[in-house]
């Protein structure tokens, strides 16, 4: 039986490798896919992933245990409710929401209901600090959660009224019809100064950098006398729990990975950089 299980895991991971690649950068998306499939990541899956990606098993176990979104010990419920416990949500009365959840479900945080429907977990910042308390139910975010809202959310979940989010498939980022290599072609036709000027005109700002002007950032990097420059492709928001909307978008679509990879070309050319990282999921 265990042999069959191991063979099945190996086969599944080989399939996932076709989608996410076979180097280290595939580790996070493959772990997410395994967790989605089994509602936790069995020990044997960690070993099989390590073997498949040629990474030391201790390293894979360390990644899986570091992120609170990965569960390696026990099967999670069908709905995993993660309530933000970070300071803004704490000050927005997240304790009232927590109490309501525990009372309605009859379990404490860290536990799963006997019917396997709900798991309660605390998590760190979900990026909705101005709209706390924030809560995540599987991949669906809820803002300004109140005890009354909790009642409705649980009721909808029990009746399977949850509609999966399509954010990873539709929207301007993925559906605007730009060819994956178009940014590269455009960038190759321009001088570094022209690219920076175009970015300046577009007033592009870093969304993960508190609105820092992108053109100024590239200008400063271009002027740096050091010959070795790197563009680090950070594919996740800087959250400590492994949650990442860009990650979700990219891990579900090789098209969007290609698109976003091509989008790095202008920055590389603008700052005369020869090195670009693979997507870095770790914040």
Residues in the interface with ligand FES (CB under 6 A) total 11
Nearest distance, CB of residue 1 and ligand FES, angstroms: 43
Rule CB under 6 A: say whether 63 interacts with ligand FES: no
d(CA 268, CA 190): 12
Query: Of 10, 65, 72, 88, which lies in the binding site for ligand FES, with binding defined by CB under 6 A?
Result: 88
Query: Of 16, 26, 53, 134, which lies in the binding site for ligand FES, with binding defined by CB under 6 A?
Result: 134
Q: Which stretch binds ligand FES (CB under 6 A): 64-72, 123-131, 161-169, 205-213?
A: 123-131
Rule CB under 6 A: say whether 137 interacts with ligand FES: no
Q: Which is nearer to ligand FES, 89 or 153 (CB)?
A: 89
Of 79, 76, 56, the C-alpha closest to 68 is 76
Q: Which is nearer to ligand FES, 86 or 100 (CB)?
A: 86
Q: Which is nearer to ligand FES, 89 or 101 (CB)?
A: 89
Structure tokens at 27: 């580790």
Structure tokens at 175: 């559906």
Of 65, 219, 215, 85, the C-alpha closest to 145 is 85
Question: Greatest CA span in the chain, whole angstroms?
Answer: 63
DSSP bridge pairs for 80: 119
Of 38, 144, 132, the C-alpha closest to 90 is 132
What is the number of other CB atoms lying within 10 angstroms of the CB of residue 4? 8
Q: Which stretch binds ligand FES (CB under 6 A): 18-26, 129-137, 219-227, 252-260?
A: 129-137
Q: Which stretch binds ligand FES (CB under 6 A): 33-41, 108-116, 127-135, 178-186?
A: 127-135
Rule CB under 6 A: say whether 60 interacts with ligand FES: no
Instruction: Give the CA angle between residues 218, 223, 227 to the nearest 5°.
Output: 100
Rule CB under 6 A: say whether 128 interacts with ligand FES: yes
Q: Which is nearer to ligand FES, 185 or 207 (CB)?
A: 207
Rule CB under 6 A: say whether 84 interacts with ligand FES: yes
Of 228, 233, 235, the C-alpha closest to 271 is 228
Measured on CA atoms in the order 239, 245, 251, 256, is the torsion positive or negative?
Answer: negative
Q: Where are the beta strands (DSSP E) in 68-210?
A: 79-84, 118-123, 135-137, 140-142
Query: Of 132, 242, 246, 266, which lies in the binding site for ligand FES, with binding defined by CB under 6 A?
Result: 132
d(CA 50, CA 57): 5
DSSP bridge pairs for 142: 135
Query: Of 129, 174, 216, 282, which lies in the binding site for ligand FES, with binding defined by CB under 6 A?
Result: 129
135-137 and 140-142 beta bridge pairing: antiparallel
Q: Which stretch binds ligand FES (CB under 6 A): 124-132, 198-206, 256-264, 271-279?
A: 124-132
Rule CB under 6 A: say whether 125 interacts with ligand FES: yes
Q: Could you say which residues in the range 217-246 bind ligand FES, by CB under 6 A?
A: none
For binding to ligand FES (CB under 6 A), which residues are involved? 84, 86, 88-89, 125-129, 132, 134
């Amino acid at each position: 039986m265990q042999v069959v299980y191991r063979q099945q895991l190996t086969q599944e991971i080989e399939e996932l490798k076709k989608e996410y690649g076979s180097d280290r950068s595939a580790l996070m998306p493959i772990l997410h896919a395994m967790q989605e499939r089994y509602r936790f990541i069995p020990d044997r899956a960690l070993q099989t992933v390590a073997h498949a990606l040629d990474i030391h098993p201790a390293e894979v176990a360390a990644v899986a245990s570091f992120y609170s979104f990965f569960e390696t010990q026990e099967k999670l419920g069908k709905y995993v409710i993660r309530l933000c416990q970070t300071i803004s949500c704490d000050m927005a009365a997240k304790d009232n929401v927590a109490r309501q959840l525990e009372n309605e479900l009859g379990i404490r945080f860290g536990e799963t209901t006997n019917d396997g429907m709900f798991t309660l977990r605390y998590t760190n910042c979900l990026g909705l600090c101005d709209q706390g308390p924030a809560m995540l139910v599987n991949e669906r975010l809820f803002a300004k959660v109140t005890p009354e809202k909790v009642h409705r959310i649980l009721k909808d979940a029990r009746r399977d009224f949850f509609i999966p989010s399509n954010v990873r498939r539709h929207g301007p980022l993925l559906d605007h019809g730009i060819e994956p290599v178009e940014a590269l072609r455009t960038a190759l036709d321009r001088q570094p100064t022209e690219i920076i000027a175009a970015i300046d005109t577009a007033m592009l700002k870093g969304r993960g950098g508190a609105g820092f002007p992108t053109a100024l950032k590239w200008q400063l990097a271009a002027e740096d006398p050091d010959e070795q420059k790197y563009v680090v492709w950070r594919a996740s928001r800087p959250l400590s729990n492994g949650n990442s909307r860009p990650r979700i978008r990219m891990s579900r679509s090789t098209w969007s990975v290609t698109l976003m990879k091509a989008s790095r070309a202008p920055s590389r050319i603008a700052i005369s950089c020869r090195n670009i990282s693979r997507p870095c999921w770790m914040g």
